[in-house]
Amino acid sequence: MRNKCPASGLSPLACHYIMILLKIAFRNVFRHRIRSSLTGLMMAGGCFLFALFLGMVDGTYGNLIDMFTRDHTGHIQIHRSGYLDKPSIYKTMNDPDSISGTFASLDHIQSWAPRVYTPALAFAGKKTRGVRVTGVDPVREVKTTRLRHKIEKGRFLSDKPLNEVVIGEGLARILKTGLGGEIAVIAQGADGSVANDLFTVVGITGKSGSSGGSSALYVHIGALQEFLSLTGRVHEIAIVLRDQAKTGEVTEQIREILNDPLLDVEPWQVVESQFYRAMQADIKGNWYTILIFTIIIAVGVLNTILMILLERTREFGVLKALGTRPMQVFLLIVLETLCMAVLSIGIGTAAGIFGNWLLSVYGITYSIPIEYGGYVFDKLTARITLRSIVMPAVIIFGTALLVSILPAIRAARIVPVRAMRSA
């Protein structure tokens, strides 16, 4: 072991040789400060823009996923087999408390809520509208989603199964009704009868985050079960996790615990498949932006290194004349570039973290809010993630390494006599 370098297993001579090259490379970086500063500024700026771009992408999609999952969908949903493909009032699950009791103790589960759905016709005065009635458990729904926080007028549903209803602002405008108004609802009961009853409007949700648009109508799950003759049965169990990154893992755990072929346990990526596919397509498109950034930085760094090579032709010629080996010249050019890259990455990463932190705290308010799928976005935010820190550093370092190889090879092949004559 005495004949080996402790850090790498190399011989002491090889370690000494590499350390000398590193010192020379580091010294050369600061010997030409203006030139090195311009190259470093380009790499640091690229690293900063990469980090900021990825931070905004992660922040935007993170907020969008959070809205989809925590406003209504949940991270995981349980249905009767085939319900998602073809919803039906008859595809129900019995005793949701018994089903949830088998998985509620899993560490990553925060809460769950049962739901009942039915299409119906809503009447108020002379106005009629097709609606989707959703029966929710007010106590569990409050712990699971933000439905109560979306109410801008009135209040949320009572804990007792009363004939109360919460509607969206769009539906209230179409039916020309408001708080205290009565809405007649007609639907088909599970027993084949025509279900009809009057419900009193006790709350109106605003536009922001209104996933149901102008057709959402919420009632107490007990009242809707009685209305549809579905006592004790539900169509859906929505589950919210403490960390959405664990969705796939927990989904598999629940499937194994339930082990029931008559029940479908699906993550939000399947429940909101259309949105998920659109998001994945957009994420793939972002890679083209990253590629353009990389090419711009690579061309800039390559151009700078080639200029350095031309300016230092005589220097390399003298080094070759003094007996410096081509490999040593090659390594010297590569190490200089990597030293510059490491310093630039440090500055760019620090600036990127600070920029993403500012955007995560303050954000950028849109002059005109953007609505997507019934969700309203009025601010651009970012997140500090491991990806936004590591990926820009890896890309910049890899780009610097690749573009330094060709100039380093040219410098290593310099003929001393011609090099000194060309100066």
17 within domain boundaries: no
Residues 208 and 293 in one domain: no
Give the 3-state DSSP-derived string for the chain, with helices as H, strands as E and coil as C.
CCCCCCCCCCCHHHHHHHHHHHHHHHHHHHHCHHHHHHHHHHHHHHHHHHHHHHHHHHHHHHHHHHHHHHHHHCCEEEEECCCCCCCCCCCCEECHHHHHHCCCCCCCEEEEEEEEEEEEEEEECCEEEEEEEEEECHHHHHHHCCHHHHEEEECCCCCCCCCEEEEEHHHHHHHCCCCCCEEEEEEECCCCCEEEEEEEEEEEECCCCCCCCCCEEEEEHHHHHHHHCCCCEECEEEEEECCHHHHHHHHHHHHHHHCCCCEEEEEHHHHCHHHHHHHHHHHHHHHHHHHHHHHHHHHHHHHHHHHHHHHCHHHHHHHHHCCCCHHHHHHHHHHHHHHHHHHHHHHHHHHHHHHHHHHHHCCEEEEEEEEECCEEEEEECCCCCHHHHHHHHHHHHHHHHHHHHHHHHHHHCCCHHHHHHHC
Residues 229 and 148 in one domain: yes
314 within domain boundaries: yes
Mean pLDDT of 302-325: 77
Q: How many whole angstroms separate alpha carbon 387 and alpha carbon 380? A: 19
Q: How many whole angstroms separate alpha carbon 379 and alpha carbon 333? A: 46
Residues 207 and 162 in one domain: yes
Residues 225 and 316 in one domain: no
Residues 90 and 204 in one domain: yes
**Residue 130 pLDDT greater than 80, yes or no:** yes
Residues 221 and 302 in one domain: no
384 within domain boundaries: yes
**Residue 209 pLDDT greater than 90, yes or no:** no
73 within domain boundaries: no
10 within domain boundaries: no
- Reported as a single tens digit per residue, the pLDDT across 51-73 is 998 898 888 888 778 877 888 88
4 within domain boundaries: no
- Residue that terminates a domain, selected from 208, 235, 260: 260
- The larger pLDDT score, comparing residue 367 to residue 143, is at 143
- The larger pLDDT score, comparing residue 109 to residue 61, is at 109
- The larger pLDDT score, comparing residue 3 to residue 299, is at 299
- Residue that terminates a domain, selected from 230, 260, 290: 260
Mean pLDDT of 92-103: 88
The band of 137, judged by pLDDT with boundaries at 50, 70 and 90, is very high
Residues 227 and 320 in one domain: no
Residues 349 and 219 in one domain: no
As a whole-number percent, the residues of the chain with pLDDT over 70 amount to: 91
Q: What total of structural domains would you count in the chain?
A: 2
Q: Which domain holds residue 91?
A: 82-260
Q: How many whole angstroms separate alpha carbon 55 and alpha carbon 40? A: 22
Residues 228 and 91 in one domain: yes
Which has the minimum average pLDDT: 129-143, 153-167, 212-226?
Answer: 212-226
pTM over 0.75: no
Residues 232 and 294 in one domain: no
Residues 199 and 312 in one domain: no
Residues 93 and 184 in one domain: yes
290 within domain boundaries: yes
- Residue that terminates a domain, selected from 236, 260, 284: 260
9 within domain boundaries: no
